[in-house]
Structure 1
Amino acid sequence: MASSSPDLLFGLRNSFYLGAYQGAINNSDIPNLGPDDAIERDSIVYRSYIALGSYQLVISEIDSSAPTALQAVKLLALYFAGDKEAAISGLQEYLSDSAIGNNPVLRLIAGIIYMHEQDYNEALKHTNSGGTMELHALNVQIYIKMYRSDYAEKQLKVMQQIDEDHTLTQLANAWLDLAVGGSKIQEAYLIFEDFSEKYQMTGMILNGKAVCCMHMGRFDEAETLLLEALNKDAKDAETLANLIVCSLHLGKSSSRYFNQLKLSHPDHTLVKRAASAEDSFDRALQAVA
């Protein structure tokens, strides 16, 4: 959709999409925003704080008079702060309210929360009708988690028709390439490479490149990228998880990364999987003893 007025939030959105969360917060003081843009700006800033783990700040700053989009973001902060039941019941209450239930940010947050709950069908109920590039991109992610790359590809085509060069279209393309694998990995690598030339290097871009390298068997290169990402954020779950996998392939000890992941993200899949493996190992030992 061509519009005569410049998109004042373009840079802010882009920083957020590519994981430059602190940059988004620092550069959010944008003059002359209309009321809708101001709400979008605030929701991006608060979601950046959530991405950085500052849940309490978001919960305390968004009060009951805030617009629907920000109420939804507050529920996301509550969810990640560990108050999952309150977040989900609040979400259901908002979604069932016909006056606000169709708000795109509310539907997006619903999709994110139910995706984290691994209730993909419930997530799609709220995201499937699309309406924004973020909702389409979330649909791609959900379908990939459901191992339905055929549906993910249909969503990507919709995004490409709307705006082929959009950062989210490019990201969704890279996610799908990684999910499909094979010769597509090189294409995903080139997308992340392009991002790293155009924008400031973020943990997200470094992890994207590193995962491509691991798929291509280039573990030394992957390790270099991941250590650079670790320098940017020593507690990032994705970086730590990727370093664990990379270290195992390189025959190096991964225990320090694993301990850090366990401390910072006790709910992470790798931590849970290791715990259940330890349990079954202990049980097996007891059966023998």
Structure 2
Amino acid sequence: MATPDLLFGLRNNFYLGAYQVAINNSEISTLSPEDAIERDSLVYRSYIALGSYQLVINEIDSNAPTALQAVKLLALYLSGPENKESVISSLNELLGDSAIGSNPTLRLIAGTIFLHEQDFNEALKHTHSGGTLELHALNVQIFIKMNRSDHAEKQLKIMQQIEEDHTLTQLANAWVDIAVGGSKIQEAYLIFQDFSEKYPMTCLVLNGKAVCCMLMGNFDEAESLLIEALNKDAKDPETLANLVVCSLHVGKSASRFLNQLKLSHPQHILVNRMANADESFERAVQSIA
């Protein structure tokens, strides 16, 4: 008889972006020491996703297991740009330790941080060998960021061979479909639609459906989905960023959503891109004057 996966629900809630639900339902009895560490990692990563960086930093001490030390580094990294250099230094020190450097959570966090840094080669250095579905899913994201959907598709095939119906595999399938585009967009939409019918709606699922709608030219439906997401979390960065794009396409002012994004997530890639565009425009104007 197969041993029940006591962490299935917790993982699934985390993967689908139901972070508070994951936290609220994390009290699971009779966990093995290894499962207890994974449970704590998922709970703290959920707090990070909700922006509660300081809680994670305060609660994880220097005696915590490697996986939790890695999660604490992610919280420190995201809590402010002033921590970036020290975090990357500490991260490289842990990765260089032969006793713990291959820890899957440590490699996952390393890949996540270097992905934030747009250092794709360094990210892949720690994630390319896979080992877990999460690492393969992160590889998919990295390759898509590199505009290498061919490599992303190869990672997806590996995930499908491991467990085709797994939530992460289905999410990765949708990401690849969106990257490939064309008729695949409709297939991605159906994956997010399936999630919305099986599980409580989250910002992640609503944004997934909205992006598919925008790519198919259905901006009114996309706007409706994004407003629903905004009602769930008024500070969700992807919702605000997608609303900026969607508003411009439907001929509405995007300034309020952009200002909200700047205030709550000043380091967001859209904020940085628009700031760089403004600077380039100003330089161009001054060179003409």
Question: TM-score band, normalised by the shorter chain?
Answer: over 0.9
Deviates more, 1:272-281 or 1:210-219: 272-281
Question: Structure 1: 5+ residue runs without aligned partners?
Answer: none
For 2:252 and 2:138, how far apart are their aligned partners in 1?
A: 35
User: What amino acid is the match of 2:240?
Assistant: L
Structure 1 residue 282: Cα displacement: 2.5
- Does 2:202 match 1:220? no
Question: Structure 2: 5+ residue runs without aligned partners?
Answer: none
Structure 1 residue 288: Cα displacement: 4.1
User: What amino acid is the match of 1:111?
Assistant: G
For 2:275 and 2:150, how far apart are their aligned partners in 1?
A: 34
- Does 2:82 match 1:104? no
Deviates more, 1:91-100 or 1:259-268: 259-268
8 Å contact from structure 1 (residues 78, 86) kept in 2: no
For 2:277 and 2:130, how far apart are their aligned partners in 1?
A: 39
- Does 2:171 match 1:165? no
Corresponding residue for residue 243 of structure 1: 243
User: What amino acid is the match of 1:265?
Assistant: H
Corresponding residue for residue 65 of structure 1: 63
For 1:282 and 1:101, how far apart are their aligned partners in 2?
A: 46
Structure 1 residue 265: Cα displacement: 1.2
User: What amino acid is the match of 1:191?
Assistant: I
After superposition, the C-alpha distances for 1:80-107 in whole angstroms (9 at most, x for unaligned) are 0121111111100000000000000000
Structure 1 residue 271: Cα displacement: 1.3
**Where does 1:266-285 land on structure 2 (aligned, <5 Å)?**
266-285=266-285
The RMSD of aligned alpha carbons is 0.9
Corresponding residue for residue 23 of structure 1: 21
For 1:110 and 1:48, how far apart are their aligned partners in 2?
A: 17
After superposition, the C-alpha distances for 1:131-162 in whole angstroms (9 at most, x for unaligned) are 11100100111111111111111110000000
**Where does 1:71-220 land on structure 2 (aligned, <5 Å)?**
71-82=69-80, 83-220=83-220
Structure 1 residue 280: Cα displacement: 2.6
User: What amino acid is the match of 1:175?
Assistant: W
Structure 1 residue 276: Cα displacement: 2.0
Which consecutive segments of 4 or more residues in structure 1 shift more than 4 A?
Answer: none
Aligned residues: 287
**Where does 1:18-57 land on structure 2 (aligned, <5 Å)?**
18-57=16-55
For 2:84 and 2:13, how far apart are their aligned partners in 1?
A: 28
Structure 1 residue 278: Cα displacement: 1.9
8 Å contact from structure 1 (residues 226, 242) kept in 2: yes
User: Aligned with 1:285: secondary structure?
Assistant: helix
8 Å contact from structure 1 (residues 189, 209) kept in 2: yes
For 1:155 and 1:115, how far apart are their aligned partners in 2?
A: 17
User: What amino acid is the match of 1:275?
Assistant: A
User: What amino acid is the match of 1:184?
Assistant: K
For 1:125 and 1:246, how far apart are their aligned partners in 2?
A: 36
8 Å contact from structure 1 (residues 219, 249) kept in 2: yes
User: What amino acid is the match of 1:107?
Assistant: R
For 1:164 and 1:287, how far apart are their aligned partners in 2?
A: 56
Corresponding residue for residue 230 of structure 2: 230
